A and B are shown apart, each in its own frame.
Chain A
Amino acid sequence: MTRSSFRWIGATLTVLLLLLAGCAESDDAADPGATGPAGEATVAGTGVPGGDGTATAGAATEAGEATDTEGATDTSGEEGPIRMGAVLDITGPGANLGGPERDTLQLLAEQINAAGGVDGREVELDIRDNQSREDEAATQLTSLLQEEVDIILGASRTGPSLAMRPLAEQAAIPMISLAANQAIVDGSEWVFKTAQNDRVVVEKIVAYMQTQDWQTLGLVRDASAFGEGVADLFRDVSGDADIVAVEERFATDATEFTAQMLSLRSAGADVNVIWGIPPAAATATQAYRDLGLDIPLMHSHGIGNQVFLEVAGPAAEGVVFPIGRLLVADELGDDDPQKEVITTFVADYADAYGAPPSTFAGHAYDAFQLAVQAFGEVGTDPAAVRDYLETAELTGISGVFRMTPEDHSGLTSDALVIVEVADGDWTLAADQPDGS
Chain B
Amino acid sequence: MTGPWPPTSRTVRDRGVIDFLQLTVAGLSAGSAYGLVAVGFVTIHSVTGIINLAQGEFAMVAAFVAIALLAAGLPLPIAALLAVLVVALGAAAVERVAIAPAAGSSVVAYIMLTLGVSITLKASALLIEGPQPSALPAFTPGILSFGGVLVRPQDLWILAATAVAALGLYGFLERTVTGKAFRACAEQPTAARLVGISPSRMSTLSFVLAGVVGAVAGVASSPVIQTDWNIGLFLGLKGFVAASLGGLASIPAAIAGGLLLGVVESLGAFYISSGLRDAIAFFVLIVVLVARPSGVFSTHAGVRAGVRAH
Chain A residues with a Cβ under 8 A of chain B: 1-2, 5-6, 8-13, 15-17, 19-20, 23, 91, 93, 95-96, 99, 220, 223, 248-251, 253-256, 258-260, 262-263, 265-269, 278-279, 282-283, 290-295, 307, 310-311
Contact = CB atoms under 8 A, between A and B. Distances in A.
Contacts of B237: 16, 20
A23 B226 contact: no
A11 B49 CA distance: 13
Interface in B1-44: 1-5, 15, 19, 22-23, 25-26, 29-30
B277 A254 contact: yes
Nearest to A306: B132
A226 to B, nearest CB: 14
Nearest to B221: A255
A292 B150 CA distance: 8
Contact of A282 (B150, B226, B249): B226
A251 B2 contact: no
B302 interface: yes
Given A258-B26, A279-B228, 11 more contacts: A5-B304, A9-B248, A12-B240, A223-B275, A248-B275, A251-B277, A259-B277, A266-B3, A268-B2, A278-B133, A291-B150
B167 interface: no
Interface string B229-259: 0110110110010001001110000000000
9 contacts: A2-B301, A5-B249, A8-B51, A96-B131, A265-B5, A266-B19, A268-B4, A283-B225, A290-B152
Interface stretch (B69-77, B88-96, B266-274): B266-274
Nearest to B18: A262
Closest 3 CB pairs of A and B: A268-B3, A259-B269, A258-B26
Contacts of A17: 282
B293 A249 contact: no
B169 to A, nearest CB: 21
A225 B111 CA distance: 33
Interface of B: 1-5, 15, 19, 22-23, 25-26, 29-30, 49, 51, 53, 107-108, 111, 115, 126, 130-135, 143, 150, 152, 224-226, 228, 230-231, 233-234, 236-237, 240, 244, 247-249, 265-267, 269-270, 273-275, 277-278, 282, 285, 289, 293-294, 301-304
A259 B22 CA distance: 9
A291 B19 CA distance: 11
B274 A260 contact: yes
A253 B1 contact: no
A283 B278 CA distance: 17
A118 B83 CA distance: 54
Nearest to A12: B51
A26 to B, nearest CB: 10
B267 to A, nearest CB: 8
Given A5-B248, A20-B233, A256 B266 contact: yes
B109 to A, nearest CB: 13
Nearest to B151: A290
Contacts of A11: 108
A254 B235 CA distance: 11
Contacts of B289: 6, 9-10, 13
A255 B132 contact: no
B234 A249 contact: no
A310 B240 CA distance: 31
Given A5-B304, A259-B277, A295-B4, A253 B240 contact: no
A278 B267 CA distance: 24
A279 B133 contact: yes
Given A93-B131, A255-B226, A15 B23 contact: no
Contacts of A20: 233, 237
B275 A253 contact: no
A279 B51 CA distance: 29
A223 B273 CA distance: 12
A20 B232 CA distance: 12
Contacts of B51: 8, 12
A177 B267 CA distance: 41
Given A256-B26, A263-B270, A1 B225 contact: no
A346 B277 CA distance: 41
Nearest to A291: B150
Counting chain A CB atoms within 10 Å of each CB, the highest count among B224, B244, B274 belongs to: B274
B293 A2 contact: yes
Contacts of B224: 255-256, 283
Nearest to B15: A266
A220 B244 CA distance: 31
A290 B26 CA distance: 12
Given A6-B293, A279-B228, A23 B277 contact: no
Given A8-B51, A16-B237, A250-B274, A256 B230 contact: no
Counting chain B CB atoms within 10 Å of each CB, the highest count among A19, A96, A256 belongs to: A256
B274 to A, nearest CB: 4
A310 B130 CA distance: 14
A274 to B, nearest CB: 12
Contact of B30 (A23, A256, A279): A256
B115 A96 contact: no
Contacts of B25: 258
B274 A267 contact: no
